[in-house]
């Protein structure tokens, strides 16, 4: 299990890059997917950070998680 958690940083990094690409889109649908990908990457980074004892990273991801939830809400065309 430890090896799995050690390797989790790589998919977290890939998801973060994909999210950044999508959030930069001018299409609301792609931006929405980007914010949801960011949220997923926040969760992945928190799991990895907990395993690695990277508490500053966890605090950062919690803050970014909140901002990404705001991004989802602001990007919603019905709001």
pLDDT in tens, the chain (79 residues): 889 999 999 999 999 999 999 999 999 999 999 999 999 999 999 999 999 999 999 999 999 999 999 999 999 866 5
0.85 exceeded by pTM: yes
pLDDT number for residue 9: 96
- At 77 the pLDDT is 67
For 46-73, the DSSP string reads HHHHHHHT-HHHHHHHHHHHHHHHHHHH
d(CA 5, CA 21): 25
Separation of alpha carbons 33 and 48, rounded Å: 22
Break the chain into its structural domains and give their ranges: 2-75
């Amino acid at each position: 299990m430890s090896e799995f958690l050690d390797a989790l940083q790589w998919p977290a990094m890939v998801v973060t890059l994909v999210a950044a690409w999508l959030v930069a889109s001018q299409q609301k649908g792609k931006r929405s997917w980007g914010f949801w990908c960011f949220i997923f990457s926040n969760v992945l980074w928190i799991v990895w950070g907990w395993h690695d004892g990277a508490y500053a990273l966890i605090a950062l991801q919690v803050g970014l998680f909140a901002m990404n939830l705001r991004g989802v809400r602001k990007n919603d065309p019905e709001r």
